[in-house]
């Protein structure tokens, strides 16, 4: 950013440069917490999905949420899991680095970093009764069950009915009313 001299008004130059610098700093400081806060909202939604999606069989003694790839959502999910339960089962958050480690999952969140692998994830674990959640434009149409998107500056989610049927998952009408159906 370069400030050009304004003939005859030195205070204008200082004020203009300072204002631009303040604006840039403000945007940097403001945007970082919003991104983190957005992932906090992801975890709130994901906890709600537990309540409004019915799995055909309950695996194991824990409700396991996997996170495929690094994501800020992991921290928020761990905080949520420390105080919440899925019915009478404790919620466990597991970082998934290899899809062969997906057995025992009830839910899998595909991070933004791994979002280009949605089709591969579905081909490897599709049909396993795992709720597959992605984030990013077009990922719901690629076959994830639920896809987080931004609409008018707000977090929203798409619900892929065909993908829910593929996973043999039943969705409550309350969740369907809140979703963008694809």
Q: pLDDT tens, position by position, for the chain (182 residues)?
A: 445 455 555 554 554 544 444 444 333 333 333 344 589 999 999 999 999 999 997 768 999 999 999 999 999 999 999 999 999 999 999 999 988 878 899 999 999 999 999 999 999 999 999 999 999 999 999 999 999 999 999 999 999 999 999 999 999 999 999 999 99
User: Which residues sit opposite 157 in a β-bridge?
Assistant: 148
CA atoms of 57 and 14, how far apart (whole Å):
67
Cα dihedral across residues 95, 82, 171, 60: positive or negative: positive
Edge-to-edge strand list for the sheet holding 107-110 = 85-86, 89-96, 63-68, 107-110, 131-135, 146-151, 154-159, 180-181
Cα dihedral across residues 85, 160, 124, 45: positive or negative: negative
- Domain segments of the chain as ranges: 38-181
Contact 57, 85 (CB under 8 A): no
Phi and psi of 131, rounded to 5°? Answer: -75, 110
pTM of the entire predicted model? 0.78
Instruction: List the CATH code of the domain at 38-181.
Output: 3.40.50.2300
């Amino acid at each position: 950013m370069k400030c050009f001299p304004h003939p005859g008004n030195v205070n204008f130059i200082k004020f203009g440069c300072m204002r631009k610098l303040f604006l840039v700093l403000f945007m940097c400081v403001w945007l970082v917490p919003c991104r983190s806060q957005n992932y906090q909202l992801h975890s709130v939604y994901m906890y709600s999905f537990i309540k409004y999606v019915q799995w055909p069989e309950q695996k194991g003694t824990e409700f396991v949420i996997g996170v495929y790839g690094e994501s800020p959502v992991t921290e928020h999910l761990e905080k949520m899991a420390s105080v919440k339960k899925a019915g009478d089962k404790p919620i466990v958050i597991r970082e998934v680095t290899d899809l062969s480690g997906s057995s025992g999952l009830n839910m899998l969140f595909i991070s933004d970093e791994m979002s280009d692998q949605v089709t591969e994830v579905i081909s490897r674990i599709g049909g396993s009764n795992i709720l597959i959640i992605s984030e990013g434009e077009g990922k719901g149409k690629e076959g994830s069950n639920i896809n987080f998107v931004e609409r008018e500056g707000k977090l929203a989610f798409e619900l892929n009915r065909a993908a829910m049927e593929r996973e043999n998952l039943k969705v409550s009408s309350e969740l369907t009313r809140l979703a963008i159906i694809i």
